Structure 1
Amino acid sequence: MTLELSMLVPHVPSLCHKDQVPDFQKDMASAMKLVAKQVKEIKPDVIVLVSCHWPSTFFHYVDCTPIHKGILTAFEAPDLVKDVSYHYLEMKN
């Protein structure tokens, strides 16, 4: 297995809703969409995410449910990240 891509990217809550991104962050949001296309083209077997918000001070579990679906409102920034619907399906090879 080889390392195909690594990134250091911003993840400010104001990027959550495309129609609400402030003007000074629009270039950053566009660049992140380009990176998303790169990741899709690479078709990685594994994506490793390291975040400064990662809950490393307590146990965390991997949920292998084939479908993750719901609506997210972030308790730490409900004014910026609210009513975000998500629907992720297990990827098959």
Structure 2
Amino acid sequence: MIEACTAFIAEHPQRGPVLARAYTWRGRAYADVDEPDRAIEDLNQAIGIEPSTTAFELRGRAYWRKGDAERALSDYQVPCRSSVICSPCWA
């Protein structure tokens, strides 16, 4: 998965939702092989291109694995803040 996403990113440098998903998938793959720093780098790229609930949750998980609970909790809260159900809680 890492190799396929890396090739796709290299071949499609234009910014957009498809590139954001490629960074998200590669970030997930790095997290799965216990490389949280590389996962965070890719998820930062994905969020910078097109923020998504998945990217924030995965980045939160990577921060948690690194022992950075404060950043992890911050990322876990982002999807809830944007949710119609939860947003009144954060007002």
More contact order relative to length (CA 8 Å, sep ≥ 6): 1
Q: Which structure has the bigger radius of gyration?
A: 1
Above 0.5 in TM-score? Answer: no
Task: Please give the TM-score of this superposition, normalised by the length of structure 2.
Answer: 0.29
Query: Which of the two has greater strand per residue?
Result: 1
